[in-house]
Structure 1
Amino acid sequence: MKHIEHGFEKRLFSSRWLLAPFYVGLIIAVLLLLLRFFEDLILLVPQVFSLDESTLVLKVLTLVDLCLMANLLVIIVFSSYESFVSRVDIKNQQERPSWLGRVGFSSLKVKVISSIAAISAIELLKVYLDINNYSHTQVLWMVIIFSVFVIAGVLFALMDRMSSGQSKKDS
C-alpha cells in the first residue's frame, strides 16, 4: 500500500509541470504587448510635433500602461514558476532580479492588485485628459471601479501584513 501511495504522490508532485504552458502563454502575451508598444510608438513618432500636449500625454500614458502590464505579467510568470513549479537556476547571479525568490503567493496578490490599480489610475487619467468625450455616468463608473481596486489593494496589503505578523508570532 505504501508503494501505491508513494507512486501517487510522485505523480501528483510532477503534475505541477502542467502549469508551465500557462507561463509560456503569458510570455507570448508579453511579446504581443511588446509588438503593440512598438506599433504605438512608431505611429507616435511622426505625429509628435503636430499633437497637442494632452493628446501626446494620452498616447505616452498608453505606452506606460502597456509597460506596466508587461511588468505585471513577468512578475506573475517568474514568481508563480518559482512558487509552484521549480526554482529558477541562473548561472550569473548578478542577472537574477532581487525580488525573485522572495515574492510569495500573498505578496504576489498585493503586487497584482497594486499593478491593476496603477493601470486603472492611468486609464482614469486618460479619461480626465479627454473628459469631454465621456458621459458623467461613464466617469462615475470608472472612478468607482478605480476606488474598488485601491480599496482591494489596501485590504490585501493589510491582510498580508497581518498574516506575516501573525506567522512571526507563531514561530
Structure 2
Amino acid sequence: MTTPPKSRLGPLPYLIFSSRWLQLPLYLGLIVAQAIYVVQFVRELWHLVDATLFGHVAPGTTESAETTIMLTVLGLIDVVMISNLLVMVIVGGYETFVSRLRLDGHPDQPEWLSHVNATVLKVKLAMAIIGISSIHLLATFIKAASLDPETIKWQVLLHLAFVVSALALAYIDRIMQPGDKPAH
C-alpha cells in the first residue's frame, strides 16, 4: 500500500497557513506574565507569613488579623486561578491554533488537552473567569462594610453577566454537538 503524495500549497495558502506562527510571541508573552504572577504569589505569601508569624502589620490597617489573613489567602487563590487560566490559554491555545505539542503518552499530559478545541477552550475559560470573579466577589463581601453599595451592586451584576455568558457558551456548545442530544 502506498501513501498518497503530500500536496504542495500555493504561495498564498502557505502564507495564510503559516501566519498562525505569529501567535507564538503572544503565548511566550503569556508565559512571562505567568512568571510575574509567580513573583506576585511569593510576595503575597511572604507578607502573609510575616504578618502572621512575626506580627508585622501594615500601618493604618484597621481590619482584624483574621480578616487580613482571609483576604490575603483569597488573593493567593486568585493568583493561582489566574495562573491556571493562563495555562489553559497558553497550552490549549497553542495546541488548537498554532501547532501540536505531541504530548501523547506523556504522564503529565492534562486530561482536558486530548479533547480541546476552540469551543471547549471558551467554555473552560468562561468557567475559570467565573471562579476568579467569585473570589473577588467574596473579598468584596468580606469588606462590604467599608465599600460603597453602588460598587458592590456593580460587582454582583458583572459576576452575574459572567455566569450568564458561561451558561450561554455551554448551551451553544451542547446544541452544536451532533448525536449528544439527551433521549426523551
TM-score normalised to the size of structure 1?
Answer: 0.89
Determine if contact 1:26/1:77 at 8 Å carries over to the other structure: yes
**Of 13, 18, 22, the match for 1:14:** 18
| Runs of at least 4 residues off by over 2 Å | 49-52, 89-92, 166-169
* CA distance in structure 2 between the aligned counterparts of 1:27 and 1:117, rounded to whole angstroms: 22
Match of 2:123 in 1: 110
The answer to whether the aligner puts 1:29 opposite 2:42 as a matched pair is: no
1:65 shift after superposition? 0.3
Q: Deviations over 1:24-57 (max 9, x none)?
A: 0011110011110000001110212556222211
Answer yes or no: is the 8 Å Cα contact 1:82–1:101 preserved in 2. no
**Is 2:142 aligned against 1:129?**
yes
Higher relative helix content: 1
* RMSD, aligned CA: 1.9
Partner in structure 1 of residue 72 of structure 2? 59
Identity %: 34
Q: Are the aligned partners of 1:114 and 1:153 in contact in 2 as well (CA < 8 Å)?
A: yes
Once residues 44 and 26 of structure 2 are traced to their aligned partners in structure 1, the CA distance between those partners, rounded to angstroms, is 27
- What is the alpha-carbon distance in structure 2 between the residues aligned to residue 26 and residue 101 of structure 1? 22
Tell me how many residue pairs correspond in the alignment: 165
Map of 1:148-167 to 2, 5 A cutoff? 148-164=161-177, 166=178
Residues 1:76 and 2:80 are matched in the alignment: no
Q: What whole-Å deviation, never above 9, does each CA across 1:138-158 have from its counterpart, x for those lacking one?
A: 111111111111111111111
What is the rounded CA distance, in whole Å, between the counterparts of 1:92 and 1:160 in structure 2? 28
Secondary structure of residue in 2 paired with 1:39:
helix
Are the aligned partners of 1:20 and 1:85 in contact in 2 as well (CA < 8 Å)?
A: yes
Q: What residue ranges of structure 2 are gaps of 5+ in the alignment? A: 1-8, 56-63
TM-score calculated relative to the size of structure 2: 0.83
- In the alignment, the residues of structure 2 paired with residue 160 and residue 153 of structure 1 have an alpha-carbon distance, to the nearest angstrom, of 10
